Amino acid sequence: MHILAIETSCDDTCAAVSKNGEIVSETIHSQSMHDGFGGVVPEIASRGHIEKISWTVNKALSDANLAIDRIDAVACTMMPGLIGSLIVGGHFAKGLSQSIGRPLIAVNHVEAHVLSNLIDRDKRPSFPFLCLTVSGGHTQIWLAESPYRLSVLGETIDDAAGEAFDKTAKLLGLNYPGGPLIDRYASTGDPDKFRFAEPSVPGLDFSFSGLKTSVLYFLEKQSKEFIAGNINDICASVQKTIIDILLKKLTKAAKDLGITNVCIAGGVSANKGLRSELIKTGSKLGWKTFYPALNHCTDNAAMVAIAGHYKFLVNDFASLDNVPKARA
Ligand code: KG4
Ligand code: ZN
């Protein structure tokens, strides 16, 4: 059973093909037109997807050595994301599914991030598992009881963890997206050199806006020379604060529910500090820990193919009335 998956929720044009739940090919075209704008410009992103979507889908099919008539269903991210970007992928998928006479599967982008931990057959968590999903738009703790029973236990009440990385990077004069750069500087910095505010939010919810303000006030008081000379320590200290905030809530969720399979997913799960702290916390508390391969942390179509695979198994198909939505 072959699924062709399409993902265009932000600025990456992605396609993948799976066979019986295994990824056989995947293609990604990352847009570079946003460089210099300090973020993704939605209108530019949609236009970029229009230019590249046919090429991306054709490449995924040819790398899988498959003609389009061998595809059993077309899965596509329909929400949440940038609406113009979603419309390009969503309508391309609808047209394709109609033209080849195969069903359409509508996938939720954040649920696909949770299921990205099932892409690699040899490193799969068993159900039930917890997944901390941390990206540029989301910070949530998910409970996955099965591929069909996914629920949010807690989430950010303001900024996402990825935004905390990106906004800190912007204050430091680094390019967008700043997360990978902070990760790199932090790897040789002292995480205990500077202290930044940690919020106190009840339950399993998160907040990152206080941290952003605390970084801003700290940097306003320093000279350019001081910031340049201490950039590694500043990045390491901010990164440590973000990781502490995330892992405290993940630990609380695991203890409250008695769950020992614990995963992370989303763009921020590529962070080296977060990955190693997850392993350390897990070995202290007796968890089995999981994170996706680096190319499956950030947006990709392999996770959409996996989500689509499970939906196909229970005939969860979408009608042509299904329209892309910016919010889930
Ligand atoms: O999942 P993703 O590709 O797109 C969204 O759905 O948002 O996540 C993008 C986010 C950005 O905020 C980016 O800075 C962050 O993930 N990110 C990282 C790292 N790689 C990507 N943050 C920290 N460390 C990284 N290595
Ligand atoms: Zn994402």
The pick from 245, 268, 272, 296 for probing ligand 1's pocket by mutation, whose C-beta has the most ligand atoms within 8 angstroms, reads: 268
In the reported structure, the alpha carbon of residue 273 is separated from the centroid of ligand 1 by a whole-number distance in angstroms of 13
Of 36, 48, 38, 39, nearest in space to 12 by CA: 48
CA-135 nearest atom, ligand 1: 8
The pick from 30, 34, 135 for probing ligand 1's pocket by mutation, whose C-beta has the most ligand atoms within 8 angstroms, reads: 135
Reduced to 3 states, what is the DSSP secondary structure of residue 316? coil
Any idea which ligand is nearest the CA of 138? 1
The pick from 85, 165, 176, 277 for probing ligand 1's pocket by mutation, whose C-beta has the most ligand atoms within 8 angstroms, reads: 165
Confidence of residue 37 (pLDDT cuts 50, 70, 90): confident
How confident is the model over 224-233, as a mean pLDDT? 97
What does the alpha-carbon distance between residue 36 and residue 144 come to, in Å, rounded to a whole number?
39
Residue 314 has pLDDT above 90, yes or no: yes
In the reported structure, the alpha carbon of residue 263 is separated from the centroid of ligand 2 by a whole-number distance in angstroms of 15
Report pLDDT for 36: 80
Instruction: Please name the residue whose Cα sits nearest to atom 1 of ligand 1.
Output: 267
CA-160 nearest atom, ligand 1: 12
In the reported structure, the alpha carbon of residue 8 is separated from the centroid of ligand 1 by a whole-number distance in angstroms of 16
Instruction: Give the C-alpha distances (Å, rounded to integers) separating 153 from 135, 141, 149, 191, 207.
Output: 17, 6, 13, 29, 15
In the reported structure, the alpha carbon of residue 113 is separated from the centroid of ligand 2 by a whole-number distance in angstroms of 7
Confidence of residue 186 (pLDDT cuts 50, 70, 90): very high
Q: What does the pLDDT look like over 247-262, one tens digit per residue?
A: 999 999 999 999 999 9
Q: What does the pLDDT look like over 109-160, one tens digit per residue?
A: 999 999 999 999 999 999 999 999 999 989 999 999 999 999 999 999 999 9
Confidence of residue 38 (pLDDT cuts 50, 70, 90): confident
In the reported structure, the alpha carbon of residue 268 is separated from the centroid of ligand 1 by a whole-number distance in angstroms of 4
Instruction: Give the C-alpha distances (Å, rounded to integers) separating 259 from 110, 249, 283.
Output: 21, 13, 14
Kindly tell me the burial class for residue 188, based on how many C-beta atoms sit within 10 Å of its own C-beta (0-12, 13-18, 19 or more): exposed
Instruction: Give the C-alpha distances (Å, rounded to integers) separating 93 from 48, 96, 247, 271.
Output: 16, 5, 37, 32
In the reported structure, the alpha carbon of residue 33 is separated from the centroid of ligand 1 by a whole-number distance in angstroms of 18
Return mean pLDDT, the chain.
97
Any idea which ligand is nearest the CA of 176? 1
CA-270 nearest atom, ligand 1: 26
Instruction: Please name the residue whose Cα sits nearest to atom 22 of ligand 1.
Output: 179
Residues with CB under 6 A from ligand 1: 10, 135-137, 162, 165-166, 177-180, 183, 266-268, 270-271, 298-299
Residue 187 has pLDDT above 90, yes or no: yes
CA-177 nearest atom, ligand 1: 14
pTM exceeding the 0.85 threshold for the entire prediction: yes
Instruction: Please name the residue whose Cα sits nearest to atom 14 of ligand 1.
Output: 179
What does the alpha-carbon distance between residue 261 and residue 258 come to, in Å, rounded to a whole number?
10
